[in-house]
Amino acid sequence: MGATRSLEIIRAFYAVAREVGLENASISRVGEHMGISNGLVMHYFKTKDELLIGLNDYILQQHMQVMLEGHRGQIRSRKDLEELIRNLFSRKWNQYFDDGVFYSCYALIYRNEAFKDSFKAYLLELHRVLRDELQQARENGIIENENIDSLAEIIFALVDGSYYYLGMFDQGDALHKSQQETYIAHCLQLFKYSVS
């Protein structure tokens, strides 16, 4: 089946990019990494651009999956809500994902409209999901914030801003930990909890 081979190739491309950087990840290296000929790679992806777009889609899809993992259900308690937030700030996918490759893809949106559209769709969807979760928290009487939309946007800005800054520090670093707690504490403090 062609679809699985395509996916295999994308995964290999990702693995190679992780090792040598996206800018040095070539078709030949992908083939070599898989133990197949470079010609075969090009049989599944007519151009390198196609492969790049495939990688981008793959990364975004995986990212979404990890991002939403765990808190798919309803937000029924204050604890659920806090876990949701902590989950957003935890850089747990670092074990699955490479930030260098991710930001390299992100950088491409500024020169490639297709990349920008993909990223935009992904981010809008991600924001929508958080908004819905917060809406649920409100409907379930956990919080009483009035402007859920902007609340979600603020939280995501904090999340994304924290990734950007914390990328500088090792995850074991003490500063990394305390900084992360600062962000989380501020976030949780944004909620107007209902008195029960």
Partner DNA sequence: AAATTAATTGAATGACCATTCAATTTATGT
Partner DNA sequence: ACATAAATTGAATGGTCATTCAATTAATTT
Please give the residue ranges that form the binding site for a second copy (CB under 8 A). 21-23, 98-101, 103-104, 106-111, 116, 119-120, 123, 150, 153-154, 156-162, 164-165, 167-169, 179, 182-183, 186
What is the smallest separation between the CB atom of 5 and a second copy, expressed in angstroms? 26
Of 85, 93, 107, the closest CA to residue 190 belongs to: 85
Look-up of token digits 């979600």? 152
Q: Out of 19, 37, 141, 160, name the contact with DNA by CB under 7 A.
A: 37
Burial of 13 (0-12, 13-18, 19+ CB in 10 A): buried
What's the length of the chain?
196
Structure tokens at 82: 């806090």
When binding is defined by CB under 7 A, the residue of 7, 15, 26, 83 that contacts DNA is 26
Task: Say how far apart CA 23 and CA 137 lie, in whole Å.
Answer: 43
CA 139 – CA 125 distance, rounded (Å): 21
**Which listed residue (7, 11, 15, 42) binds DNA by CB under 7 A?**
42
* Residue closer to DNA (CB basis): 32 or 83: 32
To DNA, the closest distance from the beta carbon of 56 in angstroms equals: 15
Residue nearer to a second copy on the CB measure, 178 or 196? 178
Complex with a second copy: residue 22 or 30, whichever CB lies closer: 22
